[in-house]
Amino acid sequence: MCNFTSRPTSASWLNQVEVWFSILQEQSLSGASFTSLKQLEQHIDAYIKTYNDRAERFV
Please, is 2 exposed, middle or buried when counting C-beta atoms within 10 Å of its C-beta (0-12, 13-18, 19+)?
Answer: exposed
User: Which residue segment(s) compose the domain that 46 sits in?
Assistant: 11-54
Cα–Cα distance, 45 to 18 (Å, whole number): 18
Look at the chain and report how many structural domains it folds into: 1
Residue 6 forms part of a structural domain: no
Residue 17 forms part of a structural domain: yes
Residue 1 forms part of a structural domain: no
pLDDT of residue 44: 95
Residue 2 forms part of a structural domain: no
- Is the pTM value of this prediction over 0.75? no
- Beta strand ranges found along the chain (DSSP E): none
Q: pLDDT digit of tens for each residue in the chain (59 aa)?
A: 667 776 666 677 778 888 889 999 999 999 999 999 999 999 999 999 999 999 888 66
